[in-house]
Amino acid sequence: MAEIEQLGVEVIAVSVDTPEQSKDLQKKAGLTYLILSDPNAEAIRKYDLLHSKAGQDGHDVARPGEFLVDSNGVVRWVNLTEDFRVRARSEQFLAQARQLK
């Protein structure tokens, strides 16, 4: 996180979870970045990330994805996967963030 912050990148997660659930996850996982609650999946749909009925009890969830968005709101890099366990490696994310500088 320190290297990411040194590059001027702000990490934000978006989830269909309630704010309370997100705060609980932050605390349990020791996360220091902001988790935004999108219970109606409005932003999640705009980025085409809705994984319909893939959550517990058939609830809609956000499919995994990482984005680098510049200060003008332009998406500069996207990493999408269907498996929540597969994410961009920190080295990959940092390399992409460095290219934005």
Domain extent listing, the chain = 2-100
pLDDT (tens digit, 9 = 90+) per residue, 20-60? 999 999 999 999 888 999 988 898 888 888 888 877 888 88
Alpha helices in 7-89 (DSSP H): 19-29, 42-46
What residues are paired with 13 via a beta bridge? 35
- Class of the 2-100 domain? alpha beta
pTM above 0.75, yes or no: no
> What pLDDT score was predicted for residue 72?
84
pLDDT in tens, 53-91: 877 888 888 888 888 888 888 888 888 877 667 777 888
